[in-house]
Amino acid sequence: MKVLLIGGGGREHALALRIIKSKSCDKLFCLPGNTGTEKIAINISIDVNDFERIYEYISINQIELVVIGPEQPLVDGLADFLRNKSILVFGPNKLAAEIESDKSFAKNLMYKYGIPTAGYKVFTRIEYTEIKNYLEQQNFPIVIKASGLAAGKGVIICDNKSDAEKAIDEIVKQNIFDKAGDKIIIEEFMVGEEASIFAITDGTNFITLPAAQDHKRIGDNDTGKNTGGMGAYAPAQLITETLLNEISEKIISPTISALNAEGRKFIGCLYAGIMITDSGAKVVEFNCRFGDPETQVVLPLIDGDFLELLFSAAKENLKSNSVKYNDGVSVCVVTASNGYPDKFEKGFEIFGIENFVEENLILYHAGTLKKEDKIFTNGGRVLGVTSVVKKGNFQDAIKKAYEGVSKISYSNIYYRKDIGKKALKYSD
């Protein structure tokens, strides 16, 4: 089978590494791919917004399955365009992808169908006075969200009214989230611990992969601004079998059914950010694709034919026994450019990549650029150093991951020092 993978980040590098292992994968193409994928696939330099050229390339190369990694092409309707051309696609259509691209739609869907989530109210940008009046009535902390896509950075937790007013001014008057802030959600702050659940679905049936836990904040001990993710570990032992059953029955299954009822059949990876509260599991947010960097720790923990799973979902005939959890543990530490998620410099040479030769220590490329056999930083999140311990514990996996980080160096390198430590409280 010839497969085209859309995307060029760390998540796509992780997806590529698993797809290429499938016995049914004859050739893998990545658009645009990255420095990591070029070793295992054919990178294609076609603009992801040029749907016609993408279709032409698919036709010429007789590609049988397209896997769309990032949210933007899904939101822009790439899956719809290709399906209309009779191309098999793993990834939701534009209407289904609104579960991520329009948080107000997602909140209203959950409210309508009784799916547990935080209390909320939606405002438009022009309702500035109404927002300020609403803040006067709130108990703090509260959460303020841009309704649209903001690259994982559109959530602001406000401890007091002053913080909330500042956040609203930044969104409305300073326009920090651009059009993503045209609608604003103000919701109750949920107390609990969060986990990420990936549900692979053919639009009716689904299978959940091992739960993960992301580290969104830029600083140690979950301080500072939200980022696209500074690291992750899996499996999240917070999610017991009982909790997973609850999440499947009260959240995942009803959401897939609700989307169907609304004429928005979802085929792909439904990512549920879940808060485990004293009153049960509640949805923080939904995404319409695999998470980053959670994918980097989840995929090494499953055995079987991952491509068969994606292919069967795309064909709307899910083979849920294609993969199974292998009892391992994994920790991913993201090395970033200092200054991220705000302003940062790039273009620094990266040293030490050649040191990654062990099978249980994976280096995922995200924001890198290759020039004349040298590799340079080219983004906010640069690399994902990931340990995989098949027979061990999180202490071993954390140690291994940070040993990997010590092998890498570049000017302005930054990383959190506490990735995975939340898992230790569940250890014997």
* Residue tagged 């939701």 (tokens): 92
- Conformation bin of residue 112: beta by default, left when phi > 0, alpha when psi is -120 to 50: alpha
The closest of 93, 13, 48 to 288, measured between CA atoms, is 93
Give the model's pLDDT for residue 153: 77
The closest of 107, 99, 226 to 157, measured between CA atoms, is 226
Q: Where in the chain is the domain with CATH 3.90.600.10?
A: 329-426
Q: Is the pLDDT of residue 392 over 80?
A: no
Q: Is the pLDDT of residue 52 over 70?
A: yes
How would you class 353 by CB atoms within 10 Å of its CB: exposed for 0-12, middle for 13-18, buried for 19 or more? middle
Give the model's pLDDT for residue 188: 96
Averaged pLDDT for residues 278-297: 96
Share of the chain above pLDDT 90, in %: 96
Give the model's pLDDT for residue 417: 98
Give the angle 291-292-295 at the CA atoms, nearest 5°. 70
Between the alpha carbon of residue 82 and those of residues 64, 79, 94, 263, 266, the distances in Å are 11, 5, 12, 19, 15
β-strands 329-341, 381-389: how paired?
antiparallel
Within 8 A by CB and 6+ apart from 24, the residues are: 1, 305, 307, 308, 311
Domain 191-325 CATH class label? alpha beta
CB 366 within 8 A of CB 383: yes
* Residues listed for the chain: 428
Whether the bond into 141 is cis, omega within 30 of 0: yes
Q: Where in the chain is the domain with CATH 3.30.470.20?
A: 191-325
| pLDDT one-digit tens code per residue, 158-169 | 999 999 999 999
CATH code for the structural domain at 2-93? 3.40.50.20
Other Cβ atoms closer than 10 A to 178? 12
Q: Report which DSSP code applies to 32.
A: E
Q: Report which DSSP code applies to 284.
A: E
The alpha-carbon radius of gyration of the chain (Å, integer) is 21
CB 258 within 8 A of CB 248: no
Averaged pLDDT for residues 289-303: 97
Between the alpha carbon of residue 358 and those of residues 27, 255, 302, 330, 407, the distances in Å are 25, 40, 18, 14, 12
Give the model's pLDDT for residue 150: 86
CATH code for the structural domain at 126-181? 3.30.1490.20
Whether the bond into 293 is cis, omega within 30 of 0: yes
Q: What is the distance between the terminal CA atoms of the chain, rounded to a whole angstrom?
A: 44
Q: Where in the chain is the domain with CATH 3.30.1490.20?
A: 126-181
pLDDT band at 154; cut points 50, 70, 90: confident
Give the model's pLDDT for residue 428: 54
Q: Where in the chain is the domain with CATH 3.40.50.20?
A: 2-93
Q: Mean pLDDT for the chain?
A: 96
CB 192 within 8 A of CB 277: yes
Reduced to 3 states (helix: H, G, I; strand: E, B; else coil), residue 394 is helix
* Residue tagged 């590529």 (tokens): 16
The closest of 90, 96, 260, 281 to 197, measured between CA atoms, is 281
The fold of the 329-426 domain, in CATH, is Glycinamide Ribonucleotide Synthetase; Chain A, domain 4 (3.90.600)
Give the model's pLDDT for residue 391: 78
Q: What is the rounded distance in angstroms from the CA atom of residue 182 to the CA atom of residue 114?
A: 26
Other Cβ atoms closer than 10 A to 129? 8
The model's pTM is: 0.95
What are the residue ranges of helices labelled H in 141-272? Answer: 161-172, 241-247, 253-261
Give the model's pLDDT for residue 359: 84
Share of the chain above pLDDT 70, in %: 100
pLDDT band at 151; cut points 50, 70, 90: confident
Averaged pLDDT for residues 395-403: 96
| pLDDT one-digit tens code per residue, 98-145 | 999 999 999 999 999 999 999 999 999 999 999 999 999 999 999 999
Q: What is the rounded distance in angstroms from the CA atom of residue 330 to the CA atom of residue 235?
A: 7
- Which one-letter amino acid corresponds to residue 202? D
